Structure 1
């Protein structure tokens, strides 16, 4: 005889009744669950180990999509197959969901992805500028609209949860995740948390602070990360140690979470890093006393990828210690992501032995179920296929192009006062385009694009800067592209001007940690080579400020910081050719020398090359604004 709820007496199926209050449904379902089923809800596994039996029999709580091609699949991201369509994604995820619905209680899974700048794991999706570029726009409404567009593309593929936004306040550009932050300035980051309302929908007036909110099937569960202080580690070391007082931790790094909670953010991810030597994944004071009790967060706390494993270092390979420390500290769901059988075995043992109280398990599962009910997963567990056409749609790409235009920061325009170099002439006779990043969509997008670290080349669909230049100029203009031009070309050709595009390779997390911060691929030498021979615009593609040699900067005629703009490179040319005005302002301090770091606005030794808030107008050299 089946034990599924459909066979229970109707009175025993309160949690299936969508007309009941959510908290009543949560308590009813929790009362019916075994310890094994509760443990399953607290377990997050990677898609490659999410078998039918694992989901159905163990009641796994959430399946994870995260493209770590070095850890999951050789030569590809964690998807159905290379360049899978949105429909292929939906088919895969619905198959997982159907397995979950066949479990004893029919509890749906949450499927999650790192959609940190659009639905960046899916081929053909719209890739928006990374957060540092959005911080340069200072446009909270734009960021909210980007969140809403991202939510549509994510839900179109069957995914329910986006591990975004990152609300770190980045204080040192040596950090490999610097571009995931909107700014070094807490108030700018707080303003940009409007992306939460875009992803989840805007809560109605009077919505309880700290209580999760998801408006409907066009929205996703959002995740504020990484709690807390990840942007303030010593020397910008990824997963490092933030050494600062509680007062500064609250004032600088914790404040954006208050804004996220006020918008009903549903989940919060703990950071790998430490605060004054205490790893956040085991910090009861910050996760429970502060976040859950003082701040009133009623959603669930999720670990980072194998985040609890980092706790084992002083205790050898004692995985039970890692589980006990993290769960008792306040982690509700653990991103295992592979050895889920070991995790479940040890978690159940720790509960049965009394090391983890059952009350802590019930609290964690209650929080997870609350989010599932609020997100409407019990009523609508499967993909809404009517959304499929939103993925990479024209309207979303136009929105991304708008974001690119507004994110550009003009650092120099002309060698002489009142003689601006920009805008460029569309009818120029001959243009030289050069540099490692002029025709590289992968470098434009940066990390967290198709794969974990990102890569170079035509990794998805979009418009490179070279493509956009060709579209922008008149038919009589000759464009000569050489990634690294030979000096001989300057004698053979008479160029009207040159556009040199340099920048960083794609990277993510610790592989992006950089103590040197020089322009890679011989960028400085290339700029000097071209700029001494031809009037030159330099466009820098980077996730942070890099060292700009004063002599090199003096040689160029104009310099634009374009950050990591994503797939819509045409937005850059909209501005440099004069269709739109430069409005972007530096979201961070641009340092002179690495030995100044960390260098932030308000520091006693503040002597930047360009200060926070700097940005020139197109038709003059005066500051657009300095904050």
Structure 2
């Protein structure tokens, strides 16, 4: 492992700083707390963040955006704490920031590493200008399980494709210089084998052989490390009975020793605390001990290392060298990001909306990601000169097209509906609309209206799929068919004998044949 001294970048600066830190300040660097977006500076739960930062007992904050807030917290840490160590601000930026790109699974369907790379370049520039330094992406959990909601966040079932996409996205997020004003630190997640959760049930156990671990789940992470990824996130699952947050074989033996990873490992949200729920740790102190000794360097949201670390160190249950190594890894990233020289975001240079080039990049990415399943009768492409069009289905006039894990931009910059897009693309056509059914309801009372519209149209576009809320984290599905009565709508339109196309909006593979 790369410790506080040696020939690693910023070694002398890190050694000097660690030498001046108290034990409590060292454990403080290992703490990440969440900002609550519904309160402002000095209010509510954010008071804890400010107080901890002022005491020099906080290393990172997640879920805070905007220079007004990040600079406020950064000034407390830099100008009011004893050592003035800057904070690291992180956020889940999965497929876009202000500008939304297709979900990662869709990007994988392009088989083009340039697609996630362009997403990362645009996202990094927008996010860094908004006061952020770090994204919890890319996710590279190989999975063969479409019932698992987080398949939407991954590159699917192939380790080679996942590896290529992950390496491209890491390089694009981070660039050649992490201190650049348009780059952010990446995070390879979730280490490791999270995509093998039994039954597709999120957070479930994973029973995996060494061969399967090495050949299926580890290769994308190795590619990310080789690409220079700054951080790695531990997984929620167990690996052959051992929770990933307490697994020294993977976090230290493979990642840090075998691969030489010199960044730091962050826990997932309360992942350290959940060692208790796993039945692996007796209490909070035991959870903190197990996770740090296994190789976790920063604790997200739960506070067991900050609460119990000093006592654990005094009792010899945590070693001084391991503590200093974790602190050094975190400080190294802060130096690489240039936070000691330029801790504040430039409020005059903040990007607050998608730019023209960013929108063009997202549009190009979407075109690369679409998949044509079949084209019976050569009905596609549609002609803009078509006289009349029917646009039906629950997603025809819906803005729920951006997918899971959408960043702040979704609130201010919603998706254009398919209906509006068709009207814009074919201004001379007569365009009718009828939803037919709801996305998840069983009511078929609206199908006759949609069928009547289809009978009078030259072409019908049926837009069906899954709501974003049933994809992503903690969104397991047992049935992979189209939800509700959408299948009945398609069958009714097909029965008219009139030309039609089906557009699928989904975050996982569905059984639609």
Q: Same fold (TM over 0.5)?
A: yes
Alignment correspondent of 1:586: none
Aligned with 1:99 (options 65, 70, 76): 76
Aligned with 1:150 (options 123, 140, 144): 123
Alignment correspondent of 2:439: none
Alignment correspondent of 1:506: 468
Residue 28 to residue 358, structure 1, CA distance change in 2 (3 Å): same
Aligned with 2:12 (options 20, 24, 42): 24
Does the CA contact (< 8 Å) of 1:200 and 1:215 recur in 2? Answer: no
Alignment correspondent of 2:404: 447
Task: Give the deviation of 1:461 after TM superposition.
Answer: 2.9
Task: Give the deviation of 1:141 after TM superposition.
Answer: 2.1
Corresponding residue SS for 1:116? coil
Residue 426 to residue 321, structure 1, CA distance change in 2 (3 Å): same
Corresponding residue SS for 2:503? strand
Where do 1:265-414 residues align within 5 Å?
265-313=229-277, 314=279, 318-337=283-302, 340=303, 343-385=305-347, 387-389=349-351, 391-414=353-376
Corresponding residue SS for 1:501? strand
Corresponding residue SS for 2:13? helix
Aligned with 2:187 (options 207, 215, 223): 223
Alignment correspondent of 1:112: 90
Task: Give the deviation of 1:436 after TM superposition.
Answer: 1.5
Per mean C-alpha deviation after superposition, the further-off stretch among 426-435 and 32-41 is 426-435
Task: Give the deviation of 1:386 after TM superposition.
Answer: 5.1
- For residues 469-491 of structure 1, the C-alpha deviation after alignment (integer angstroms, 9 at most, x for no partner) is 111103x2111111114414544
- For residues 231-254 of structure 1, the C-alpha deviation after alignment (integer angstroms, 9 at most, x for no partner) is 122222211222221121111111
Residue 458 to residue 469, structure 1, CA distance change in 2 (3 Å): farther
Alignment correspondent of 1:168: 141
Does the CA contact (< 8 Å) of 1:224 and 1:269 recur in 2? Answer: yes
Alignment correspondent of 1:177: 150
Corresponding residue SS for 1:177? helix
Corresponding residue SS for 1:524? helix
Does the CA contact (< 8 Å) of 1:241 and 1:277 recur in 2? Answer: yes
Corresponding residue SS for 2:389? strand
Alignment correspondent of 2:42: none
Alignment correspondent of 1:236: 200
Aligned with 2:478 (options 494, 512, 515): 515
Alignment correspondent of 2:27: 39
Does the CA contact (< 8 Å) of 2:26 and 2:327 recur in 1? Answer: yes
Distance in 2 between residues matched to 1:394 and 1:461, nearest whole Å: 16
Does the CA contact (< 8 Å) of 1:152 and 1:387 recur in 2? Answer: no
Distance in 1 between residues matched to 2:299 and 2:488, nearest whole Å: 47
Distance in 2 between residues matched to 1:144 and 1:468, nearest whole Å: 27
- For residues 98-129 of structure 1, the C-alpha deviation after alignment (integer angstroms, 9 at most, x for no partner) is 1110211110000000000112xxxxx11111
Distance in 2 between residues matched to 1:230 and 1:34, nearest whole Å: 36
Aligned with 2:61 (options 41, 60, 63): 63
- For residues 441-470 of structure 1, the C-alpha deviation after alignment (integer angstroms, 9 at most, x for no partner) is 2x211221258xx9xx97743322222111
- For residues 497-539 of structure 1, the C-alpha deviation after alignment (integer angstroms, 9 at most, x for no partner) is 1111111112355531111112113211111122222321111
Corresponding residue SS for 2:468? coil
Distance in 1 between residues matched to 2:269 and 2:452, nearest whole Å: 55
Does the CA contact (< 8 Å) of 1:155 and 1:387 recur in 2? Answer: no
Distance in 2 between residues matched to 1:466 and 1:423, nearest whole Å: 17
- 1:201 to 2:175 alignment: yes
Distance in 2 between residues matched to 1:153 and 1:199, nearest whole Å: 11
Distance in 2 between residues matched to 1:412 and 1:397, nearest whole Å: 28
Corresponding residue SS for 2:350? helix
Task: Give the deviation of 1:321 after TM superposition.
Answer: 1.4
Distance in 2 between residues matched to 1:522 and 1:153, nearest whole Å: 40
Residue 459 to residue 436, structure 1, CA distance change in 2 (3 Å): farther
Distance in 1 between residues matched to 2:397 and 2:452, nearest whole Å: 24
Does the CA contact (< 8 Å) of 1:201 and 1:215 recur in 2? Answer: no
Task: Give the deviation of 1:153 after TM superposition.
Answer: 0.7
Gap runs ≥5 in structure 1? 1-14, 66-78, 81-88, 120-124, 203-212, 551-627
Distance in 2 between residues matched to 1:488 and 1:182, nearest whole Å: 39
Distance in 2 between residues matched to 1:524 and 1:30, nearest whole Å: 62
Gap runs ≥5 in structure 2? 37-44, 437-445
Alignment correspondent of 1:553: none
Alignment correspondent of 1:422: 380
Distance in 1 between residues matched to 2:313 and 2:154, nearest whole Å: 38
**What is the number of equivalent residue pairs in this alignment?**
482
Task: Give the deviation of 1:384 after TM superposition.
Answer: 2.8
Aligned with 1:487 (options 448, 461, 467): 448
Task: Give the deviation of 1:183 after TM superposition.
Answer: 2.2
- For residues 291-339 of structure 1, the C-alpha deviation after alignment (integer angstroms, 9 at most, x for no partner) is 00001100000000001122102268711111111111110000025xx
Task: Give the deviation of 1:139 after TM superposition.
Answer: 1.2
- 1:192 to 2:165 alignment: yes
Distance in 2 between residues matched to 1:248 and 1:386, nearest whole Å: 50
Corresponding residue SS for 1:409? coil
Distance in 2 between residues matched to 1:42 and 1:383, nearest whole Å: 23
